[in-house]
Amino acid sequence: MSNRVVVTGIGVLTPIGNNLAEFSEGLRAGRDGIAPVTHFDASKHRCQSAGQLKNIDFSAHFSPEELPYLSRGTRMIRVAAAQGLAASGLDLAAEDRSRVGVVLGTNLGGMPAAKEGYAALHHPYRRGRAGPKEPWRALVLDSFISAMSDQVASQYGLAGLSLVMSTACSAGLHALGVAMDAIRSGQAEVMLAGGVDPLSEMPQAGFGVLRSLASDKLRPFSKDRDGTLLGESASLWVLESEAHATRRGARILAELAGYGGSTDAYHMTRPDETGRGPARAMQAALDSAGMKPEQIGYIKAHGTGTPANDVIETRAIKHVFGERTQVPVSSIKAMVGHSLGSSGATEAAAAVVALNEGFLPPTLHLDTPDPECDLDYVPHRSRPAKLEAVLANAFGFGGNNAAMVFRRWEG
Residues marked as catalytic: 169, 302, 338
Q: CA torsion angle for 290, 329, 301, 78 (degrees, to 10)? A: -90
Which residues contact residue 164 at a Cβ distance below 8 angstroms, ignoring those fewer than 6 apart?
Answer: 103, 104, 105, 106, 109, 145, 146, 148, 149, 175
Sequence-separated contacts (24+) of 243-251 with Cβ below 8 Å: 243/1, 243/2, 243/189, 244/189, 244/190, 245/6, 245/8, 248/89, 248/90, 250/6, 250/8, 250/88, 250/89, 250/90, 251/8, 251/89
CA-closest candidate to residue 30, choices 333, 304, 327: 333
Strand pairing category for 162-165 and 100-105:
parallel
Q: What DSSP state is assigned to residue 366?
A: -
* Angle, alpha carbons 261-160-63 (nearest 5°): 105
- The string over 182-218, giving b where at least 16 C-beta atoms fall within 10 Å of a residue's C-beta and e elsewhere, is bbbeeebbbbbbbbbbbbbbebbbebbeeebbbeebb
Can you list the positions of beta strands (E) in 152-251?
A: 162-165, 190-197, 233-241
